[in-house]
Chain A
């Protein structure tokens, strides 16, 4: 019987080796290891053996069975791996073909800039205030120390609808309205972004519609040095840590003192170049301490309260930052322009 088992083992292992596919392998398994297979048969015939030989043959039969089973399993694993290998080979694609495009849109450059500026000031504790674009003459001019007939009204020729109603020429009326809402109590700390309108013929540097962002802080101890501090923080965050600011005297009817803020030219680092017209400085915004007449008209006591205000043009900032040469690009909505500013 020993011989029979050895013979069976040899035979079975040979067939395992020869099996070319899963089915052939399964056949070998059924043939040799099945309930009616030869090894079972050998075990059945063990009754005829002497008692002392039975465990030996039994052990041997089990070993043979184990060996064949292992061989089949190993062969099966190999075959499966080969099959997977083949499948993967067949599934290979050209990864260099272009992907299916995902839809991409994005904000307008001016919106991006305005939101960026809003967020900078929100970080300094400002709120965002908004107001109507079609304004009352009172809020657009009179409440800002520009009574009717004031020569400075020439500076911003406006689109009137009636004698008392016009397209706002700046977002300052929002400041006047916000102060009025606070009923003479501080602090008022707001940023006012929005569209404004002036009687200008559209060309490379003028637009009858453009955007503005103004800021206002009114409280009991607001100093001009605070204006410098806040604008400096803004300039460094917006234009880079290495930028310097300077204030120059200027004139606005609603502030006194009035200043213009320049930042050091990024192009030349302050040496002077064509961008900064050789001065090393680039004008960014107008600002000043809120005029006492403006405070008073909004119900604040100028002896108790002081404040600062500033205003800037996102178009101008965008033109400087990106070297855009024509303000009309912002309103033509050419997708080749719009898409350039959708990148992160």
Chain B
């Protein structure tokens, strides 16, 4: 809502406050001021001039040489505007004036003729083209009426106005009018309001003799008032009115239309003026449209209606969509002489859906949608009639022909001073509350500390005690509420075990060299189906899709963070950031339903993407690219850090989109909980990546495996014994299996078993490989004897020979 301060001053005394100070007060008390902007630039040496003579320029067809009286002198001005003429009163920029855009007016010769100044168009004075009335769009501005020659044209054209832009929250539709803003400002400044004049001169002829009103659906249209104004002369509205419309962002059209718009802005009540003679009958019938009925609206569009639209008809056919737009046939035009003026209350929902369906949001529909003030409906009609009589030569017929089932009842809200103080944390006394209610102009009854407040109909947002808490609180001033800390039994506060673990996982991965990413949960259908971990994959598991996505890019919910993380990796590599090590902790959304009947299962996952070099230290010739074992090592470290490494195993596995020979399923106590491996070369190519590695693990399952009991294992007091063995096995024997067998067979003495060499090549038979292990023997209770170690060692050798045909390497 744009509020012209020059206009606002007509209703309330702004007490000499600067616009900024006023804006600050309004913002702090209730409505956010989003901008304080000058309407125009006041221009010095811009005066009203009288064109005494206007003659064709001797040397130029399109120029005129004018003699312009500017009060203290007569200036010769060469003017190129097509509409300049003798007898006009115009805006003259005298030499020395500076127009917007730093355009300096000087004496000059134009095609040999002296020119001392400029006759200005509105555009040249800085008024936006879209607000310039059509009659002046292509030429100079001409004053109507009789402004004094030599008078300051800047203020006549309102160029010295300041516009305050209010950012209205949905509850404050009461401020969608100048009067509403006046109430607010008057309350803040504790000053009275000067209300507009609604006294109308009426004729003896009665409106009810020339028009009737029938409302078929009183729920959707509880009030419809019709007035008739005769002998209208359509022409321009007075300059002050046009200025105010422009200041509010509305283009002046003609006096009739301008007056309805002016009252809309002043009262917040939309009105509609029909050309009475083209209405098609003398009966107004308001009803629901019939299915498929059509109307040509005044924007020229043919619109098809349905039964949830409310229409104004002439008894036969629709002449307007109620509260939204009038019909073209009954529109006021230059030749209109009798106006049928509508002031009505239309149901907010009905207007809202009609405006939405036809894409016709307007100043009028917005106000109906929020619900207009019942008290102002009829008054706005009277105000418009009065203006039509004053500024359009109209004669107002006696009476308002109305259908009226509207409720004008004021709601009441009852509260006590102590409740008020209890919620706000203040210690106001009764007098303070009385004072605030007086400023708000709310009437009330008081009994002890109990207030029963009648809520004016203009404040439809207030119905609960809490609403009054807000009214009293904001007027009391939120700045005046003290700072306190909550009392009462508090919680201890803190993270849950799960949340604390999640933070530990993050810190571990960051310490291991990974950077956290945040990617979108919504992705393309293709990506949503890509790289789904085998533990997520299942019959009928499918990505959830949005009913109405804004784009294909973000249409489906992910089943893995990997596809979007790979896109981020690809983005970086394309920008010469070739080394990427990412992790992300986030949800995936799993369902088996084609159409959701319940929310999908949200599972928190840990995903990682790595590509490029892992370590480079060039001058010492060290360079290590990310490979499978780097990535697996990060996971190994994580499981060790969480102390669940003994429950974890890896198994060669197949995952769509992953390299078939370089992918492992991550197993927790035998159950697959994720995967780790290299991306399939085809997918790598698709992402424009060289070798890229990824992992994706179910974090919730990992956390569940963690024992909550932390115990202390004493430092061994007896020496351990280390034995190495190199075993030759078939190349397809998995080291992990071999190691597992060694540990199982060697238990309880063998505490650890590390692979320290893998060899395949000329010193071995084809198809064979050698795996060397270092075994650690330990008994925490005593010193081990060599014989015991030997015994276990042989048992291990026998076992691996039996199970894997493993031979000791010579």
B730 to chain A, nearest CB (A): 36
Contacts of A108 in B (CB 8 A): 515-518
Interface size class of A (residues with CB under 8 A): 35 or more
A289–B547 contact, CB under 8 A? Answer: no
- In angstroms, Cα B586 to Cα A42, docked, is 92
B520–A331 contact, CB under 8 A? Answer: yes
- In angstroms, Cα B717 to Cα A48, docked, is 63
A334–B486 contact, CB under 8 A? Answer: no
B366 to chain A, nearest CB (A): 11
A327-341 Cβ-contact flags toward B at 8 Å (1 or 0)? 000111111101100
| B521 interfacial by beta-carbon distance below 8 Å | yes
| A110 interfacial by beta-carbon distance below 8 Å | yes
With A134-B544, A199-B550, A291-B466 as contacts: A189 and B490 at CB distance below 8 Å? yes
A159–B546 contact, CB under 8 A? Answer: yes
Q: With CB as the reference atom, state the residue of chain B lying closest to A195.
A: B521
- Of the candidates B494, B589, B602, the one having the most CB atoms from chain A within 10 angstroms of its own CB is B494
Interface size class of B (residues with CB under 8 A): 35 or more
- In angstroms, Cα B170 to Cα A259, docked, is 14
B509–A223 contact, CB under 8 A? Answer: no
With A248-B478, A289-B469 as contacts: A339 and B515 at CB distance below 8 Å? yes
Q: With CB as the reference atom, state the residue of chain A lying closest to B488.
A: A219
- In angstroms, Cα B171 to Cα A128, docked, is 32
Contacts of A289 in B (CB 8 A): 423, 466, 469
With A128-B499, A229-B484 as contacts: A249 and B515 at CB distance below 8 Å? no
Stretch from A25-33, A67-75, A99-107 contacting the other chain? A99-107
Q: With CB as the reference atom, state the residue of chain B lying closest to A126.
A: B493
B512–A105 contact, CB under 8 A? Answer: yes
Q: With CB as the reference atom, state the residue of chain B lying closest to A277.
A: B35
| CB-contact partner of A335 in B565, B572, B616, under 8 A | B572
Contacts of A189 in B (CB 8 A): 490-491, 493
Q: With CB as the reference atom, state the residue of chain A lying closest to B29.
A: A249
B627 to chain A, nearest CB (A): 15
A254 to chain B, nearest CB (A): 12
| CB-contact partner of A333 in B485, B571, B587, B589, under 8 A | B571
Stretch from B532-540, B575-583, B699-707 contacting the other chain? B575-583
Stretch from B336-344, B617-625, B771-779 contacting the other chain? B617-625
| CB-contact partner of A256 in B28, B30, B469, under 8 A | B469
A232–B587 contact, CB under 8 A? Answer: no
A58-102 Cβ-contact flags toward B at 8 Å (1 or 0)? 000000000000000000000000000000000000000110110
| B17 interfacial by beta-carbon distance below 8 Å | no
| A142 interfacial by beta-carbon distance below 8 Å | no
Contacts of A217 in B (CB 8 A): 486
With A105-B512, A108-B518 as contacts: A248 and B493 at CB distance below 8 Å? no
Contacts of B622 in A (CB 8 A): 100
Contacts of B172 in A (CB 8 A): 251
| A136 interfacial by beta-carbon distance below 8 Å | yes
B170–A187 contact, CB under 8 A? Answer: no
Q: With CB as the reference atom, state the residue of chain A lying closest to B371.
A: A151
A134–B599 contact, CB under 8 A? Answer: yes
Contacts of B575 in A (CB 8 A): 334
Which B452-488 residues have C-beta < 8 A from chain A? 464-467, 469-470, 473-474, 478-479, 481-488
| 16 chain-A/chain-B pairs, Cβ below 8 angstroms | A98-B617, A151-B369, A159-B546, A159-B548, A186-B488, A189-B490, A220-B488, A224-B425, A228-B482, A229-B485, A248-B32, A249-B31, A250-B169, A251-B169, A336-B577, A338-B516
Since A134-B602, A221-B422 are in contact, a sample of 14 more A-B pairs with Cβ atoms closer than 8 Å, ordered by chain A residue number, is A100-B615, A108-B517, A118-B495, A160-B548, A167-B521, A208-B550, A219-B488, A222-B486, A225-B483, A256-B464, A289-B469, A306-B423, A331-B518, A342-B515
